[in-house]
């Protein structure tokens, strides 16, 4: 699996991941939820000394019912647009108290990152806050019932793009963050938990603003059967519509199943991905071509970075 | 808690199981592991979104049916096809 | 040997923040508050104040950052005015609901539209429902003292509410006046360090701050109780404010009033109520009119929240008429101070005549002659035995 830092006292299993769960079972996420699969492994990578700042969204809505919480680490469930700003305050307080070994993590959805939360995030990155910001991207405002966000891909049907589908392409959040020249930007996918775990562990130990963007397939939102979550996520990576990479101190590197996909012939055609999801069921040949072209253009950009 | 004198002064929640309820009650199908076919690869443990699969002393995965929601990802991903989704009726309530 | 500095209100607040040993400050510039946070940054970069200053990218983020820091048990501060305060509105409810003792300096400036950078109280009065304590300062010394006192009041375990300390734009914020600064040791004796139980950074006892209270489940249905507890804390704050003002007076020899300040009210027939810097001028008018034989007094409303209901009822027993001056207005009804005074006095069996005067919106000068006019008008109404027009906009260019 490659090397990563082991937290003292951790018990690892045969997959090289810690046994300990950081969420008590019995929380309210949908069966088959990709974002909770990602959260589970993210928490394992963060360990006990972490404080999470979680805005309104799927995670907060399904875990924050008074008087109980499933989280075994401290969490602040904050207002929608304030993830990075509230986290900046927590970071400052920990610095004043000499507790900088506690990692402060923003865990926000695509809505809370691409749209309403982008100001605070950009501000925190510009200030170089010691913040590990993680976007769990299920590609729409899922908590409020599947509305279109800046992270929704071209063509996808949502309740606010119900018939024609979204007419704009997905905003490239990871590259936007990379241009802030922060020390670490990475993309991950819920279907590849070991790749995600390594990245979160690595980012945990770094200083400065770190950004990890996780694609999280959503059965009710993308309209596929609840047992296919991991399959759909893997296909997203195999078609190249989602790439796994790291940009560490400006150096771009593909990781995991994305390595070797620079050659377009190695990438699965995107229609193999769209045909499995109800949100794309109305796409015409022309629209699928547009989506395929967008993917090919994205990979041309990645190719530039690798050179 | 019956009176406002018992609630924490600031609105906070404390860690506990069943924060939303006994989510095992959501199931329509339940995953059943056939140990004779199981290779102990732990991919089911890896891919469970709710973290309700633990590993027993012999290294076999064990499902916590109080909280398993029956999504079936474990069955779908098992390379040895050792997990079968069975209809929930016909099983005793825990 | 007293240490007296000539300071603007902005600087006075910066000194108070330094002496209160605030640990995290997050602020965004806005006229006329800017100079205050500039001074604080200077103190921090010079090493005179050990604190983190977060140069946030908006006021909404400023209050969010300070909420995050305060939940970890550090003493925090932010400052704003007008548009910035309006932008923070959502998070004002958050700070009060989460029960965090944040202190915020608000320079009272008119709200757009139309644009104005000059003084009125609409900005903070628009936020009266958010659950924050609200103090209105008459002068720079009072402002300095109130910042120190408010940390002590807010951080009390039984209270834990945020407070905004308001000062008039330019009239106080940019005007220099003598401010007596106590020694750091005396302030440390007066103000103990802040200690929060069940803080966010307590890794051994992890909690989730700000869960949802759903009325659909019996074990979760506690929202209304949480709001009741906020009101309960406000009522306790009213008592604590009186205590702390008394203590401050004993230790530092200055008393600016507690919830309100009564000036020559003992045998007054007519009383003029003011809030903010023009309360000072009201006392001059009272002195002159007393010399002419009028039985008049002045009341300075020092805390708008908690509203001094009991104190006003006490006062009203002996007074025949009250003129309430508002520097803000709730469109569709009347001035906010007038509204609250009327409602506080309604259930009294014997009530004075009351009338609301609106003055000084958008920074229009509240002149000596305007305040004198108000008092004379009230005496005329008292003679008539009734109030003809309940609300009067004074010095309006009709």
Q: How many Cβ atoms from other residues are within 10 Å of residue A127's Cβ? A: 17
Residue at token pair 């299993």: A13
User: In this complex, which of C207, C219, C228 lies closest to B12 when CB atoms are compared?
Assistant: C207
* Reported confidence tier of residue C143, pLDDT bands at 50, 70, 90: very high
Chain B residue with the nearest C-alpha to that of C196: B10
Across A89-95, average pLDDT: 98
Closest CA to C340 of C331, C332, C350, C330: C330
Task: Quick: pLDDT tens for C263-276.
Answer: 999 999 999 999 99
Contact across the interface for B14 and A13, Cβ inside 8 Å: no
Pairing state of beta strands B83-87 and A184-189? unpaired
Helix (H, G, I), strand (E, B) or coil at C261: strand
Q: Is the pLDDT of residue A95 over 70?
A: yes
Q: Which domains does chain A have, with CATH numbers?
A: 34-306 (3.40.50.970)
Distance (Å, rounded) from C-alpha A136 to C-alpha A210? 14
Confidence band for C51, pLDDT divided at 50, 70 and 90:
very high
CATH topology of domain C3-198+233-251: Rossmann fold (3.40.50)
- The torsion angles phi and psi of C342, rounded to 5 degrees, stand at -55, -45
The whole-number average pLDDT for the span C388-394 is 95
Query: How crowded is residue C185: how many other Cβ atoms within 10 Å of its Cβ?
Result: 8
**Quick one: average pLDDT of A82-86?**
98
| Measured distance CA(C53)–CA(A284) in Å, rounded | 54
Query: Which among B1, B8, B9, B10 is the top mutation candidate for probing chain C, defined by the most C β-carbons within 10 Å of its own β-carbon?
Result: B10
Peptide bond into C32 cis (omega under 30): yes
Residues of B in contact with A71 (CB under 8 A): 15
Residue intervals in chain C for CATH 3.40.50.970: 3-198+233-251
pLDDT of residue C289: 98
Number of H helices, E strands in chain A: 10, 9
Tokens of C348: 């009294």
Residues in chain B within 8 Å Cβ distance of A29: 49-50
A4 pLDDT band, cuts 50/70/90, is low
Please name which of C314, C316, C319, C397 lies closest in space to residue C361, comparing C-alpha atoms.
Answer: C397
**Among C97, C206, C219, beta carbon nearest to B11:** C97
Residue A2, pLDDT above cutoff 60: no
**CATH, domain C260-393, list 3.40.50.720, 3.40.50.2020, 3.40.50.1110, 3.40.50.920:** 3.40.50.920
The reported pLDDT for the residue numbered B92 is 60
Residue C241 pLDDT > 90: yes
- Reported confidence tier of residue B94, pLDDT bands at 50, 70, 90: very low
Q: DSSP of A128-183, one letter per residue?
A: T-SEEEEEEE-SSBTTTTSB--TTPPTT--BTTB-SS---SPPP-HHHHHHTTT-S
Residue whose structure tokens are 């075994």: A72
Task: Supply φ then ψ for residue A24, to 5 degrees.
Answer: -70, 135
What does the pLDDT read at residue B82? 97
Give how far B81 is from chain A: nearest CA, Å: 14
Determine the average pLDDT of the residues in C140-144: 98
Instruction: Supply the mean pLDDT for chain C.
Output: 97
DSSP secondary structure letter of residue C133: E
Contact C22, C76 (CB under 8 A): yes
Q: Which member of B22, B42, B70 has the closest CB to residue A26?
A: B22
Average pLDDT over residues C164-169: 98
Q: Which domains does chain B have, with CATH numbers?
A: 23-87 (3.30.70.20)
- Within 13 A of B36's CA, how many CA atoms are on the CB side? 0
pLDDT (tens digit per residue) in C179-205: 999 999 999 999 999 988 889 999 999
Hey, how many other C-beta atoms are within 10 angstroms of the C-beta on C386?
A: 7
Residues 6+ apart with CB under 8 A from A64: A77, B13, C208, C210, C211, C212
Task: Let me know: does C72 contact C97? Beta carbons within 8 Å.
Answer: no
Whether the Cβ atoms of residue C229 and residue C161 lie closer than 8 Å to each other? no
Hey, are the CB atoms on A17 and B46 less than 8 Å from each other?
yes
Chain C residues in contact with A49 by the CB 8 A cut-off are: 203
Q: How far is CA A290 from each of CA A154, A155, A270, A283, A295, rounded to the nearest angstrom?
A: 8, 9, 10, 10, 9
Q: Residue A148's pLDDT is what? A: 97
Average pLDDT over residues C385-389: 93
User: Are C61 and A74 an interchain contact pair (Cβ–Cβ within 8 Å)?
Assistant: no
User: Is pLDDT of C360 > 70?
Assistant: yes
Nearest CB to A40; choose among B15, B23, B51: B51
| Tokens linked to A224 | 């596929």
**Rounded mean pLDDT, C226-246:** 98
Mean pLDDT of chain A: 96
Asked if the model's pLDDT at residue C288 lies above 60, the reply is yes
Of C64, C201, C211, the CB nearest to A86: C64
Are residues A127 and C212, on separate chains, in Cβ contact within 8 Å?
A: no
A interface residues, C as partner, C-beta within 8 Å = 48-49, 51, 53, 61, 63-67, 69, 71-79, 81-82, 85-90, 92-97, 99, 102, 119-120, 122-123, 126-127
Q: Does the structure show a pLDDT above 80 at C363?
A: yes
Is the Cβ of B10 closer than 8 Å to some Cβ of chain C? yes
B93 pLDDT band (50/70/90 cuts)?
A: low
For residue B13, give the nearest of C97, C99, C208 by CB distance. C208
Per-residue pLDDT tens for A187-216?
A: 999 999 999 999 999 999 999 999 999 999
What is the mean predicted confidence (pLDDT) over C311-323? Answer: 96
CA dihedral C200, C201, C206, C209 (to 10 degrees): 10
Are C348 and C240 within 8 A, CB to CB?
A: no
Which residues of chain C are in CATH 3.40.50.920 domains?
A: 260-393
**Closest alpha carbon to C127 in C81, C173, C92:** C92
Most A CBs within 10 A among C64, C194, C216, C217, hence the mutation to make, goes to C64
Q: Please, which chains are in contact with B (at least 3 CB pairs closer than 8 A)?
A: A, C
The CA distance from C85 to C30, in Å, is 10
CB-CB neighbours of A150 under 10 Å: 18
Name the nearest CA neighbour of C387 among C351, C355, C352, C344.
C355
Distances (CA, A) of C56 to A70, A120, C60, C88: 32, 8, 9, 13
pLDDT at C247 exceeding the cut of 70: yes
Cross-strand partners of A18: A12
pLDDT computed for residue A1 by the predictor: 44
* pLDDT surpasses 80 at C142: yes
d(CA C57, CA A121): 10
- Could C213 and B4 be called an inter-chain contact, meaning their C-beta atoms sit closer than 8 Å? no
pTM of the model: 0.96
Size of interface B-C (CB pairs under 8 A): 42
ipTM at complex level: 0.95
C61 has a pLDDT exceeding 60: yes
């Amino acid at each position: 699996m490659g090397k990563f830092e082991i937290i003292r006292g951790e018990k690892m299993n045969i997959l090289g991941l810690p046994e300990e769960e950081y969420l008590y079972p019995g929380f309210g996420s949908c069966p088959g939820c990709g974002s909770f699969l990602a959260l589970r492994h993210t928490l394992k990578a963060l360990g006990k000394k972490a404080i999470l700042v979680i805005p309104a969204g799927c995670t907060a809505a399904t875990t924050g019912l008074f008087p109980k919480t499933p989280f075994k680490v401290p969490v602040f469930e904050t207002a929608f647009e304030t993830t990075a700003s509230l986290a900046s305050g927590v970071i400052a307080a920990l610095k004043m108290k000499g507790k900088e070994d506690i990692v402060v993590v923003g865990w926000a959805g695509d809505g809370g990152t691409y749209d309403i939360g982008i100001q605070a995030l950009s501000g925190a990155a510009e200030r170089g806050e010691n913040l590990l910001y993680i976007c769990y991207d299920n590609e729409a405002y899922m908590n409020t019932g599947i509305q279109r966000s800046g992270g929704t891909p071209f063509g996808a049907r949502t309740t606010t793009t119900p018939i024609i589908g979204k007419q704009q392409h997905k905003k490239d959040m990871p590259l936007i963050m990379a241009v802030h020249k922060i020390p670490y930007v990475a993309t991950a996918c819920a279907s590849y938990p070991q790749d995600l775990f390594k990245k979160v562990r690595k980012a945990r130990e770094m200083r400065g603003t770190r950004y990890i963007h996780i694609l999280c397939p959503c059965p009710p939102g993308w309209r596929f059967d609840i047992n296919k979550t991991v399959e759909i996520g893997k296909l997203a990576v195999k078609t190249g519509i989602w790439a796994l990479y790291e940009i560490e101190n400006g150096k771009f590197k593909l990781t995991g199943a994305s390595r070797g996909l620079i050659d377009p012939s190695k990438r699965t055609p995107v229609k193999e991905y769209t045909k499995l999801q109800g949100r794309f069921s109305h796409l015409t040949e022309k629209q699928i071509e547009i989506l395929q072209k967008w993917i090919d253009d994205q990979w041309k950009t990645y190719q530039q970075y690798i050179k | 808690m019956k009176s406002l004198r018992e609630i924490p002064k600031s609105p906070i929640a404390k860690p506990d199981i069943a924060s939303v309820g006994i989510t095992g009650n959501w199931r329509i199908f339940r995953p059943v592991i056939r140990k004779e076919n199981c290779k102990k690869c732990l991919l089911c443990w890896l891919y469970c979104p709710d973290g309700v699969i633990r590993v027993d002393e012999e290294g076999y995965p064990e499902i916590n049916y109080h909280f398993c929601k029956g999504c079936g990802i474990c069955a779908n991903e098992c390379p040895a096809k050792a997990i079968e989704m069975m209809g929930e009726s016909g099983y005793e309530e825990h | 040997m007293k240490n007296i500095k000539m300071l603007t209100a902005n600087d006075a607040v910066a000194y108070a923040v330094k002496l209160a040993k605030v640990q995290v400050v997050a602020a965004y510039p806005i006229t006329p508050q800017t100079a205050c946070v500039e001074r604080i940054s200077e103190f921090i970069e010079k090493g005179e104040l050990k604190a983190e200053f977060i140069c946030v990218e908006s006021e909404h983020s400023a209050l969010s950052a300070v909420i995050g820091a305060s939940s970890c048990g550090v003493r925090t501060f932010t400052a704003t005015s007008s548009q910035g305060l309006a932008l923070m509105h959502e998070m004002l409810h958050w700070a009060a609901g989460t029960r965090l003792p944040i202190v915020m300096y608000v320079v009272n400036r008119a709200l757009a539209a139309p644009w104005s950078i000059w003084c009125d109280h609409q900005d903070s009065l628009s936020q009266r429902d958010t659950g924050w304590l609200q103090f209105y300062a008459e002068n720079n010394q009072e402002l300095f003292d109130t910042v120190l006192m408010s940390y002590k009041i807010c951080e009390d375990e039984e209270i834990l509410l945020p407070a905004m300390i308001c000062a008039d734009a330019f009239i106080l914020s940019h005007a220099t006046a003598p401010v007596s600064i106590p020694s750091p040791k005396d302030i440390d004796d007066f103000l103990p360090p802040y200690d929060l139980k069940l803080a966010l950074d307590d890794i051994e006892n992890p909690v989730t701050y700000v869960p949802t209270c759903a009325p659909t489940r019996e074990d979760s249905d506690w929202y209304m109780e949480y709001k009741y507890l906020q009101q309960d804390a406000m009522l306790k704050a009213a008592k604590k404010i009186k205590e702390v003002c008394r203590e401050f007076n004993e230790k530092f020899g200055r008393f600016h009033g507690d919830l309100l300040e009564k000036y020559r009210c003992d045998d007054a027939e007519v009383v003029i109520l003011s809030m903010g810097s023009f309360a000072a001028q009201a006392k001059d008018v009272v002195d002159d009119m007393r010399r002419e034989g009028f039985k008049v007094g002045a009341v300075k409303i020092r805390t708008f929240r908690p509203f001094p209901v009991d104190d006003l009822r006490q006062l009203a027993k002996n007074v025949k008429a009250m003129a309430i001056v508002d520097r803000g207005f709730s469109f569709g009804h009347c001035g906010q101070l007038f509204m609250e005074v009327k409602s506080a006095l309604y259930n009294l069996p014997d009530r004075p005549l009351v009338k609301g005067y609106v003055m000084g919106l958008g920074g229009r000068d509240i002149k000596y002659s305007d305040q004198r006019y108000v008092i004379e008008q009230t005496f005329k109404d008292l003679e008539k035995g009734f109030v003809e027009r309940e609300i009067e906009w004074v010095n309006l260019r009709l």
